[in-house]
Chains A and B, each alone.
Chain A
Amino acid sequence: MMDPVVGLWGVEKVFGNGVRALAPVNLAVQPGEFISLIGPSGCGKSTLLKVIASIHAPSAGQVRWWGRDFAHVGSAGHRMAFVFQDPTLMPWACMEDNVRLPLDLERMPATTAGPLVRDALEQVGLGHVLRHYPAQLSGGMKMRASIARALVTQPDLLLMDEPFGALDEFSRNRLDEEMARLCYEKGLTTLFVTHSLYEAVFLSSRVIVMAANPGRIFGEYHIDPAIRRDETFRLSDDFAHMCRDLTQMLTEATHATFSGGA
Chain B
Amino acid sequence: MNARHMARLTLIAPTLVGLCTLGVWEAACRLLSIPSYLFPAPSDIAASLHANWPMLLHALGSTLQVTLVSLLVSVVLGTAIAVVLVQHKLLQVSFMPYVIILQVTPIAAVAPLIIVLVKTTGVALVLCATLIAIFPVISNTLIGLGAVDPGLEAYFRMHKATRMQTLLRLRIPSALPMFMAGVRIASGLALVGAVVAEFVAGTGGNSAGLAYEILQSGFQMDIPRMFAALFLITVTGLVLHGGMTTIERLLLGRWMRPAT
Contact = CB atoms under 8 A, between A and B. Distances in A.
Nearest to B162: A105
Given A105-B160, A105-B165, A90 B254 contact: no
A133 B155 contact: no
Contacts of A133: 254-255, 257
A102 B151 contact: no
Which residue, of B149, B170, B252, B258, has the highest number of chain A Cβ atoms within 10 A? B149
Contacts of B202: none
Interface in A63-104: 74, 80, 82, 84, 86, 88, 90-93, 101-102, 104
Contact of A90 (B152, B154, B159, B258): B152
B169 A101 contact: yes
Q: In the complex, which range does the number of interface residues on chain B fall in?
A: 20 to 34
B156 A91 contact: no
Contact of B257 (A54, A88, A105, A136): A136
B158 A54 contact: yes
Interface of A is mostly: loop
Nearest to B258: A135
A55 B158 contact: yes
B259 interface: yes
Contact of B173 (A55, A82, A90, A136): A90
A88 B259 contact: no
B169 A82 contact: no
B158 A134 contact: no
B6 interface: no
B256 A135 contact: yes
B158 A136 contact: no
Given A74-B160, A101-B169, A105-B160, A88 B155 contact: yes
B176 interface: yes
Contacts of B157: 55
Interface string A117-143: 000000000000000011111100000
A70 to B, nearest CB: 9
Which residue, of B156, B160, B252, B260, has the highest number of chain A Cβ atoms within 10 A? B160
Contacts of A105: 156, 159-161, 165, 169
A105 B163 CA distance: 11
B151 A86 contact: yes
A133 B173 CA distance: 14
Contacts of B151: 84, 86, 88
Nearest to B160: A74
B159 A102 contact: yes
Interface string B153-194: 011111111000100011001101000000000000000000
B155 to A, nearest CB: 6
Contacts of B155: 82, 84, 88, 101
A63 to B, nearest CB: 14
Which residue, of A53, A105, A135, has the highest number of chain B Cβ atoms within 10 A? A105
Interface string A163-194: 00000000000000000000000000000000
- Ranked nearest first, the 7 interchain pairs of A and B with the lowest CB-CB distance are A88-B151, A92-B173, A133-B255, A105-B159, A92-B255, A84-B151, A55-B154
Interface of A: 53-55, 74, 80, 82, 84, 86, 88, 90-93, 101-102, 104-106, 133-138
18 contacts: A55-B154, A55-B157, A80-B158, A82-B158, A84-B151, A92-B173, A92-B174, A101-B155, A105-B165, A105-B169, A133-B255, A133-B257, A134-B255, A135-B257, A135-B258, A136-B258, A136-B259, A137-B259
